[in-house]
Amino acid sequence: MDNFTYFNPTKVHFGKGQIATLKEEISPNSRVLLTYGGGSIKTNGVYEQVLDALKECAVFEFGGIEPNPHYETLIKAVAVAKQEQIDVILAVGGGSVIDGSKFIAAAACYEGDSWDIITIGGGCVQRALPLGCVLTLPATGSEMNRNSVVTRAATQDKLSFGSDLVRPVFSILDPQTTYTLPARQIANGAVDSFVHIMEQYMTYPVNAKVSDRFAEGLLLTLLEDGPAALATPDDYDVRANLMWTATMALNGTLKNGVPTDWSTHAIGHELTALYGLDHAQTLAIVMPALWRYKKEQKKGKLLQYAHRVLNITEGTEEQQIELAIQKTEDFFSQMGNPTRLSDYNLTEKDIPAVQEKLTEHGLLAIGEHKDITPHDAAEILRLAL
């Protein structure tokens, strides 16, 4: 078991009707910047609940934060935050709105060029506005961590930063807010969560039993309740389990004492930036191919996954591993994310640009062993043609 430091001060209010707790979390007379995305919150009742709880505050709105939030959009919100002397940012939406709002929170207090926050990283963040969240789409875990991914549309750069100063002070998770989500978003969220868990699990064994078993418990829950959420969209417990699983998947708990991978995400981010694929689609393409490419190094954990999560006990180790990968691909496909580049009309000729972008971004040696080069990434994608 490896050494670790764990710290997560975000307060979570989870369950039916919890949006009303905004009244306790945000002081009366605060100047609140309410950030959101495409406007679904105005049709599903969330917006009314939020405004009702903030009746005694001055609320300013900034909508239109897109999936894979654009730097170009966010700097407009930064200008509003500065001009209106905002006290607190309230992000209402999914991971993109929250990630974008983390950038807004930091950039609103930053003196230099705010793109520094992305390129230099969170270390240059000295102050940030307090951030609260009302999560409406379980997927990224951003509601309970220090990370943010921002895309500069002009240059197709999708890059991340992290800082304890942009951790949400509180996050409100009411599973009922997810009932009206399009099936595709729920499905993508389940795949995203699944891969978050795997990035912290599918490496090599270090006898960290707590993190391993927690990861396995969350994987089992996604395998059960991901499909169930598509079949019965208004089953409260299914949505609740999915929502809490997505948060626990990336709030720091699972990485305690274990090595982490994250190469699927690194390669996937380039596919999204270059070709506009959904984040979850890129993960579904990359991860199974990466497992096949790194089968020997990941053997111990692939077998543990096969046995403990998928209950695979028959056949040779080689067969068990291949079956585990196939069953994972089946799950992704069942959740609407097929696992081949060709499923998204991409071919061999689209691969070199990914290799180049990884090189450009300095991602020269990724994965738990720091041995996946941009060339290896291209080879991995060739296994997913």
Tell me how far apart the alpha carbons of residues 251 and 61 are, in angstroms, rounded to a whole number.
28
Report the nearest approach of a copy of itself to the CB of residue 4 (Å).
5
In the complex with a copy of itself, the residue whose CB is nearer, 255 or 265, is 255
The single-letter code of the amino acid at 375 is H
Report the nearest approach of a copy of itself to the CB of residue 58 (Å).
26
Q: Which residues, 6 or more positions from 212, have their beta carbon under 8 angstroms from its beta carbon?
A: 201, 205, 258, 304
Tell me how far apart the alpha carbons of residues 16 and 293 are, in angstroms, rounded to a whole number.
44
3-state class (DSSP) for residue 61 = strand
In the complex with a copy of itself, the residue whose CB is nearer, 21 or 334, is 21
Are the C-beta atoms of residues 193 and 222 closer than 8 Å to each other?
Answer: yes
In the complex with a copy of itself, the residue whose CB is nearer, 40 or 221, is 221
Report the nearest approach of a copy of itself to the CB of residue 17 (Å).
8
Q: 324 is written with which tokens?
A: 């585990």
- The sign of the torsion formed by the CA atoms of 106, 107, 109, 110 equals positive
Are the C-beta atoms of residues 336 and 277 closer than 8 Å to each other?
Answer: no
Q: 113 is written with which tokens?
A: 């060029």
Report the nearest approach of a copy of itself to the CB of residue 226 (Å).
12
In the complex with a copy of itself, the residue whose CB is nearer, 158 or 239, is 239
**DSSP letter (8 states) at residue 105:** H
Report the nearest approach of a copy of itself to the CB of residue 205 (Å).
10
In the complex with a copy of itself, the residue whose CB is nearer, 91 or 309, is 309
Tell me how far apart the alpha carbons of residues 37 and 99 are, in angstroms, rounded to a whole number.
12
In the complex with a copy of itself, the residue whose CB is nearer, 178 or 339, is 178
Report the nearest approach of a copy of itself to the CB of residue 207 (Å).
4
Q: Which residues are near a copy of itself by CB under 8 A? A: 1-9, 11-18, 21, 206-210, 212-214, 216-218, 220-221, 224-225, 236-237, 240-241, 244-245, 248, 253, 256-257
- Helix residue ranges per DSSP H, 27-70: 46-53
